[in-house]
Every structure is written in structure tokens, then in C-alpha cells.
Amino acid sequence: METSQKRKSRQIILLIILFISIILVSLYSISVGSINISISDILKIISGQEVANNTYGPIILNIRLPRVLATIMGGACLAVSGLLLQIFFRNPIVEPYILGISSGASLFVGLVLLGGYTFGFSTITPMGLFVGSFAGAMAVMIAVVIAAKKVKSITTLLIIGMMAGFICNAITGILTAFADKEQLHSFVMWSMGSFSGFSWTQVQFLYIVGVPIIILAYVLSKPLNAMLFGENYAISMGLSMKTFRMVVILIASILTATITAFAGPISFVGLAVPHIVRITFGTSDNRILIPGVILAGALMTGVCDLCARMLMAPIELPLGVITALIGAPIVVYLLLRKTKGNEL
């Protein structure tokens, strides 16, 4: 039987390993591509020891580094969002897109790319796509929050979110049926999900929004732990379920909406990472799980993004396909290993 001290030491070691792995994967991701760059050159340019306007400077600082930083924050946000929703709904198959957030974003982007709406912009720009995507995601979120005030059953709230997603998908399907080939191609490319083409302005926005929200999620560790024992226990501990419900949905929705707006729908990270961390760390304590999913989500997304870039280079594969191919077997293996261990 593993003692509490040994378990805590093992968990700290795992967190350190994840952190170091993120650094190594990030450096390797910056170094490889159509032009390979040595790690020493990368470190010199990032630290300012070498002039950034040389051959490698623009490639590192304007293309690869923003993309790597975006994948780190994107993976962390999606993983935290998935963990919160799985705890809140007490359902292991819930992920950030189950509430229709992604479908709402896809609908409004569909209005931009397929319907020609520009939301006040003279032309369709990346910022116009962001405005449309974020507006759609937040519109669905607001509808779910309003529903959360009126319904008591978490299951009913989950069904409402799913129905909102179905409605958005249906309208998007209608737009798709009337779109021409060029418009449809642009929409399909966005819907595949990708962290390519991130600018420093977009990266700054991700971190300005993501970091405070993730910190807020960690502050909620204690009430989240109380939720593990059921609503009645949480209420007996003085937790206001209506307020807590809206805060959790708001946090999960903002994290998902922000990433979806910039990178498109990226599935499976929010579903797989919480399972992987929960089983690997051997705990349900959210004071450990939240830092764990932050690091594991960043690592998984970084590895998947690297695979999407390099497996069929120069063709870039859809990121969502890679996250599913890598994440699904890992979750199945860990679940089978856990079941086998319980039977022994």
C-alpha cells in the first residue's frame, strides 16, 4: 500500500517530468521544419545573445515560437475545461464541446465564411473570424448559463447544452448546402483545427485570458473536491450550487471559446487528458489534478501539433485527427490497466 508521503513525492516528480518534457518538446518543435535550426541557435536568439534579424530570427520569433506558446496555452485551457466539466457533470465522457460551445463557434464562423457576414469588417480577416467564433461560443454559453439558473438537474442542463449544439450544427449544415466550393474549403480548413499562423497579438490575448481563468479554476479546488461526494454533500459544506454551477460553466466556456475562436475546434484533449492524469497520478484531489492537467494538456497538444506538422511534411495534417489517434489508445490502455489492477 503506497503511503501518503510516497504518493505525494511521486506526484511531484510526475509534475516535474511533465514540465521538463514540455520544454524539450517545445525546443524540438521550434528547431524542426522546412529549415532545421540547432537548439543552441534557438536559445541564443530567444535570450537575445544573437541578433534576431539574422536568417533564423524571423522564423523563430515570428512563426515557430508564437505557435509553440499557443499550443501550450491551448492544451492547458482545453484540459482544465474538460476536467471541470467531468467533475461538475459527474460524467467521464463529458468534454468542453459537449455543451455546444464548439458548435456555436462553428455556426458564427459559418456565417462569416459561408454566409458572407463580416460583423462590421470591410473584408473577412482573421480578426473577423475570431469575433464571429467567440461571439458564437459565448452566445451558446450565455444560453446555458441562463438555463443553469432555472433547472436543478445537472443531467437536464447537459441535455440542454447538447440540444443547443445540435441546433447550431443544423443551421451550419444549411449554410454548407448553399456555399460554393471556395467558401466551403475555407470553412472545412478552419473546422479541422490548427495552431498555425498565430501572431504575437493572438498569443498575448490567449495568455491574458487563459492565465487568470486557470488560476480561478485552481482556487475552486476545494469546492470541486466537495462535488466529488455529490451535490448534497457540497451543499452541506455551505456551497451555493447555483452560483457554483454558473462559475464552473463560465470558466469552462471562456477557456474553450477562446481557443476555438483562434485555433478552431480541437477535440479529445479535454476528454483524454483528465483521464490520463487521474489514473497516472492516482488521485482525485483537484489540488493535484489541476496542475497535472495543465501540464499534461500542454504536453499532449504540443506533441500532437508537432506530429501534425512533421508526419506528412510539407502537408500539415488536421490537429484533431492527431489528438484522437494519440489520445484514444492511451486512455484505453490506462483504463484497461486500472481495471486489471482492481481485479488482482
Q: What is the CATH number of the domain that holds 55?
A: 1.10.3470.10
Q: Domain for residue 106, yes or no?
A: yes
Res 69: pLDDT = 95
Q: Domain for residue 9, yes or no?
A: no
Q: Domain for residue 1, yes or no?
A: no
Q: Domain for residue 12, yes or no?
A: no
Res 226: pLDDT = 85
Res 217: pLDDT = 93
Question: Nearest-CA neighbor of 96 among 249, 283, 245?
Answer: 249
Q: Domain for residue 136, yes or no?
A: yes
Res 137: pLDDT = 78
Assess contact for 319 and 266: CB atoms under 8 A: yes
Res 344: pLDDT = 36
Enumerate the H helices of 114-240 as residue ranges.
126-150, 154-178, 181-191, 200-219, 221-227, 231-236
User: How many separate domains does the chain show?
Assistant: 1
Dihedral angle sign, alpha carbons of residues 127, 129, 133, 135? positive
Q: Could you read off the pLDDT of 298-331 as tens digits, one per residue? A: 999 999 999 999 888 788 888 888 888 887 787 7
Q: Domain for residue 99, yes or no?
A: yes
Res 96: pLDDT = 76
Res 213: pLDDT = 94
Assess contact for 203 and 137: CB atoms under 8 A: no
Assess contact for 37 and 50: CB atoms under 8 A: no
* Mean per-residue pLDDT pooled into runs of 10, the chain (344 residues): 77 94 95 87 80 74 92 94 85 74 81 67 63 78 75 74 85 82 76 84 90 94 83 76 81 85 84 88 90 95 92 83 81 67 46
Q: Domain for residue 8, yes or no?
A: no
Range of 253's domain? 17-339
Of all helices (H) and strands (E), which one includes residue 337? helix 319-343
